[in-house]
Amino acid sequence: MKKRKILKEPFWKLAIRFGLIFIVVVVIIQLIWEFFSSGNLNSVSESLKNGQWITYVISKVIVGGVYGVVMAYFTKRNAKK
């Protein structure tokens, strides 16, 4: 993105974009890691059955939100320079 476009874009949109991309990448990496370590994805389906998915989703949203806000802040700050 060009610096002008970043400066015009609202902070919250930039933060949400960074956060969502981060969550998707982390989930894909976790699935690949699980597949190569155990040879299947059975533990993922087991954790969803046990009701632990709520904790999983909440933790990903919090971490993604924090990452998105931090990255949006630094991106905007660097674009102003």
Give the range of the structural domain holding residue 66, as residue numbers without chain letter.
3-80
- CA gap 41, 53 in Å, rounded: 15
Q: Is the pLDDT of residue 3 over 70?
A: no
- Whether this prediction's pTM lies above 0.85 is answered by no
Please give the pLDDT value at position 63.
96
pLDDT tens across 14-27, in order? 999 999 999 999 99
The contacts of residue 68 (CB under 8 Å, 6+ apart) are: 14, 15, 16, 17, 18, 19, 20, 22
pLDDT tens across 33-59, in order? 888 887 777 777 777 777 778 888 899
∠ at Cα 21 (5, 65), nearest 5°?
90
Give residue for tokens 């969550």: 23
- Count of domains for the chain: 1
